[in-house]
Amino acid sequence: MTSMQAFRFTIVSAAFALIAFVMLWPSRSDAVSDLHHSEIWGSMHTQERSTANIFKNIAIYVRKLDGNRPGQVVASTEILNRFSEGLNDSDYAVKMGDLPAGKYLVQIIPVDGSEYQPGGRIVNYRGKGTSVRQDWTINLTVAAVPAKE
């Protein structure tokens, strides 16, 4: 093998290795969904993009739909305060456990005298091991607005 052939072989091998590395490396969305196995999750902020103090006054309920009617609450959580971690973020993650795939109503419920308005959105949960992201904008004067999927 000549030095030119060896050089071409090295370049082609390096190119294939780079392509394989890029194709096999998990995407950011895969990495995020790995953190949220069997969860309905998202972030919450006010219309002014503030996240201050939201976590004190909001609960999230998830209800399984029975036809077109919401059933009983099957999962719930509160807003997580991420300010202590140095993040300007208010997140939630509802653990769905072994609940089956189907349509669920995610409800934003103000608690403890909160002035924020409630809201809800139907999401399609694909079952154990999957996740659904649903972000929200809450307001003092109008219903909570779900982010578009």
Q: Identify the pLDDT of residue 90.
A: 74
Closest CA to 118 of 135, 148, 143: 143
pTM for the full predicted model: 0.69
Instruction: Collapse the DSSP code of 38 into the 3-class scheme (helix H, G, I; strand E, B; otherwise coil) and give the result.
Output: coil
Q: Identify the pLDDT of residue 115.
A: 78
Report the alpha-carbon angle 93-67-70, nearest 5. 45
In tens digits, the chain (149 residues) has pLDDT values of: 677 777 777 776 766 666 655 455 443 344 444 577 789 988 887 776 555 555 567 889 999 998 889 999 999 988 765 555 544 457 888 999 899 999 999 999 888 777 788 999 999 999 888 889 898 888 888 888 887 65
Q: What is the bridge-based pairing of β-strands 119-125 and 102-110?
A: antiparallel
Report the alpha-carbon angle 85-82-75, nearest 5. 140
Q: Identify the pLDDT of residue 55.
A: 57
Report the alpha-carbon angle 103-34-125, nearest 5. 5
For the chain, the straight-line distance linking the first and the last C-alpha, in angstroms and rounded, comes to: 56
Please say whether the beta carbons of 60 and 109 come within 8 A: yes
